[in-house]
Structure 1
Amino acid sequence: MSLAFPRRALLAGAAALAAPLVMPRPLRAQKGGSLVATTYPGIWDDSFREIVAPAALKTKGVEVEFQALFAVDQIAKFAASRGAPPFDAFVLDPGPRITAIERGMFEPFDGKKLTTLPKLPPQLVDQWGAGCAAQVVGIAYNPKKVPKPGGWDDLLKEPWVSRLGLTGFGTTFGTVSLIELAKVFGGSETNVEPALAELKKVLPKIAAVGTPAAMPGLFQQGQCDVMYTNTQTVMALKDRGVDIEFATPRTGAVAFFTTLHIAKGSENVEAAYKYIDTVLSAPVQEALTRPPANLVPVNKDVPLSPNLPMKSLDEMSGFVTHDWAKINPLRGGWIERFNREMAK
């Protein structure tokens, strides 16, 4: 989309977002002391290549090759591989993780093989994989342009609505934000109709409608001054000198974890465990908390940034969470409807 026309820029679906990232040749999982792992495009990919890959080679003797793919495209690419996994390790948010579990895409996971296990919150390791980063979602705003919003419903009121950057259900943070907006107006995590109805009423006033990937740029350029997003994006923009702050809605911030998994049929399972152990090690986790990655660590030995809305991971137990087994069957329809009705 052209950033010059943000008000009604057409939202592409997740597949379209990933289209420019299609690899020029299919990568196949390597044998021996190497493996192919997925990362998310952008900051995740850059940071994992610069920090995780050298650490895995130095500390574990494992060579890692990365593929940058959005979560839904990891699922699609694996499904199309017909038993010959195109990579050895996934990185996924909660919705795609549930989909992959339901489709049998993971090797069983044994957390006891991780030397980092004692340093991780117990709930972050299960039979399918391990959490590698916490995500906290709320409202970002420019304190020099608008007052601090108090809740999700403020986004649809002045002075915020005319400075709002709106995006849809194509990301985890977008989905949970719109669910929370729906709840304020009587909806639920399976009923977003109230949010869509209220958005329709104020759509002509909204400053920008765009893809999730476009929102940080629109905010930085001043084409919107308030948006829903995660703390990682807020800190990344702040590092660039952008006037931006994170507001926790009165109903609470949203929390979820990004997780790592070993692909079903991988020929490099032991190397995959070493790779995951590297990502979860204190030195790597600490490095990933610094700019430009700004990830929220899960290793207990790594202190949290003072810019986060909590002082320890334990506080996240009181944050808002969602049941993605209920959300997943509905999300595709929500994406299609949002794109049809909001991005005109």
Structure 2
Amino acid sequence: MTTLNRRALLGAGLGAAALPFLPRAAYAAGSVTGAVYPGGWDEALRAVLTPALKQAHNVDASYEPLFAVDQIAKARASRGVAPFDVFVLDPGPRVQGIDLNLYEPFDASKLSNRAKLPSGYADQYGAGVAAQVVGIAYNPKKLPKPAGWRDLFKPEYASRLGLTGFGTTFGTVSLIEMAKVFGGSETDVEPLFTELRKILPQVAAVAQPAAMPGLFQQGQIDVMYTNTYTVSLLKSRGVDIEFALPETGGVAFGTTMHIAKGAKNMEQAYQYIDTMISTGVQSGLAQAPFFFVPVNTEVTPGPDVPMRSIADLSKFVTHDWAKINPLRARWIDRFNREMAK
């Protein structure tokens, strides 16, 4: 998928010492605040993006750890006062932000690294900064490689399964794909809930998404749905874990950055996003211990990522978030009511 439009993107560590030299631009001194996903993203951007931004532009970065849906909620509640300068979002919340007019108009010509992004990865709303590939993670010492989503409902897998809901993009797309194998669709997850009710008494754990890596590392679960980033990170820590692409196809989506409406630090926000997509930062984020999927065409994804270039994302399953978004809040509420153990 090569077009970033109003409704969809992609359709779809190294520390400062390891970064290439970036000339300091003293004229642009200042600061910027970026929303960042808690956990790995927070750690990665502080370790790689922060020193690169300081070196290139003499700009200090601070971060507000928030999941994508929480960024949108906080911006809506701020009554026109931007709670941070830059959003980082997955496709569903990105579309919500567009519909709610939460972003400043974006001028991609201000990005000096724009040519390093594939065509369509920057538009009037923002720019792509990373990609994610979602599938099934499993402990190869405890379970055979699952063939696909349907396997998770077999007793041997269900009894070791970590179940999480629709609150994240990776959770939503995984559950939708499960619904599909039982006759559902992007807008019909009823078959999913029918099957989940059958296996719920056996399921090893039902928890928030941020808890899943820890549960896996502790051996409380041995199979979960997640992204390649989480698998590579756990593997680097010595955890017995492998990634399986479902037989129906792995899922891919893009992560974008957007300048918040009313941002106080506009120039620095552009520099922040531009530095994020630079070859040095994308290379640093793609390597251990962060394992991001780069969007910069000069950077090759890491060995554990099931693609060799960003162009390969077009081969993966993608979703129409314009259809999903109106239903997602109800799905989140229903999952929390019916699946909590």
Normalized against structure 1, the TM-score is what? 0.89
Moved more, 144-153 or 302-311: 302-311
Partner residue in 1 for 2:297 = 300
The 2-side partners of 1:46 and 1:141 are apart by 24
CA distance in structure 2 between the aligned counterparts of 1:86 and 1:204, rounded to whole angstroms:
42
Alignment of 1:49-60 (within 5 A): 49-60=46-57
Partner of 1:94: 91
After superposing the two structures, state which structure 1 stretch, 154-163 or 191-200, moved more: 154-163
In structure 2, C-alpha distance between the alignment counterparts of 1:309 and 1:176, rounded to whole Å: 18
Q: For 2:328, what is the secondary structure of its paired residue?
A: helix
1:161 corresponds to which residue? 158
| In structure 1, distance between residues paired with 2:305 and 2:288 | 14
Matched, 1:198 2:195: yes
Does structure 1 residue 125 correspond to structure 2 residue 122? Answer: yes
- How far apart in 2 are the matches of 1:79 and 1:73? 10
Counterparts of 1:79-158 in structure 2 under 5 Å?
Answer: 79-158=76-155
Question: How far 1:174 sits from its partner (Å)?
Answer: 0.5
Amino acid at match of 1:178: L
Letter in 2 for 1:320: V
Partner of 2:11: none
1:162–1:207 CA contact under 8 A, matched in 2: yes
Amino acid at match of 2:66: L
Matches of residues 21-100 of structure 1 in structure 2 within 5 Å?
Answer: 33-100=30-97
In structure 2, C-alpha distance between the alignment counterparts of 1:147 and 1:165, rounded to whole Å: 16
Structure 1 match to 2:215: 218
Identity, % of aligned pairs? 64
Distance 2:336 2:281 in 1: 38
Counterpart residue identity of residue 303, structure 1:
T
Deviates more, 1:84-93 or 1:246-255: 84-93
- What CA distance in whole angstroms lies between the structure 2 residues aligned with 1:204 and 1:266? 48
Question: What is the CA–CA distance in structure 2 between the aligned matches of 1:263 and 1:329, rounded to whole Å?
Answer: 23
Q: Which residue of 1 aligns with 2:234?
A: 237
Q: Is the 8 A contact 2:29 2:58 kept in 1?
A: no
* 1:205 alignment partner, SS class: coil
- Per-residue displacement from partner, 1:79-104 (whole Å, max 9, x unpaired)? 12222212111111111111110000
Separation in structure 1 between the aligned mates of residue 331 and residue 240 of structure 2, nearest angstrom: 32
Cα distance per residue 1:21-57 (max 9 Å; x no partner): xxxxxxxxxx972221111111111221121111111
What is the CA deviation profile of residues 151-208 of structure 1, one whole-angstrom value per residue up to 9, with x for unaligned ones?
A: 1101001321211111111111000000000000110011111011011111111111
**With structure 2 as the length reference, what TM-score do the two structures score?**
0.90
Paired position in structure 2 for 1:20? none
The amino acid that maps onto 2:268 is: A
What RMSD in Å do the two structures reach over aligned CA positions?
Answer: 1.3
Structure 1 Cα separation of the partners of residues 281 and 209 of structure 2:
27
Please give the alpha-carbon distance, in whole angstroms, between the structure 2 residues aligned to 1:74 and 1:213: 16
2: CA distance, partners of 1:86 / 1:314: 34
Contact 2:155 2:202 in 1 (8 A): no
**Preserved CA contact (<8 Å) 2:86 2:257:** yes
- The DSSP-based 3-state class of the residue aligned with 1:145 is coil
- Equivalent-residue separation in structure 2 for 1:267 and 1:308 (angstroms): 37
Instruction: Tell me, yes or no, if the aligned pair for 1:32 and 1:268 is still in contact at 8 Å.
Output: no
Q: Is the 8 A contact 2:107 2:124 kept in 1?
A: yes
Given the alignment of the two structures, is residue 257 of structure 1 paired with residue 254 of structure 2, yes or no? yes
Query: SS state of the match for residue 34, structure 1?
Result: strand
- SS of the residue corresponding to residue 216 of structure 1 reads helix
SS of the residue corresponding to residue 136 of structure 1 reads: strand
Consecutive unaligned residues of structure 2, counting only runs of 5 or more, are 1-27
The whole-number CA distance in structure 2 between the counterparts of 1:328 and 1:88 is 24
Q: In 1, distance between residues paired with 2:29 and 2:216?
A: 45
Distance across 2 between alignment mates of 1:220 and 1:65? 30
State the secondary structure of the residue aligned to 2:94.
helix
Deviation at 1:106, TM superposition (A): 0.5
Structure 1 residues not aligned, in runs of 5+: 1-30
Which amino acid is the alignment partner of residue 91 of structure 2? P
What does the per-residue CA deviation read over 1:265-294, in whole Å, with 9 as the maximum and x for residues that have no partner? 123212111110000001111111123321
The answer for the alignment partner of 2:333 in structure 1 is 336
Large movers: runs of 4+ above 3 Å: none
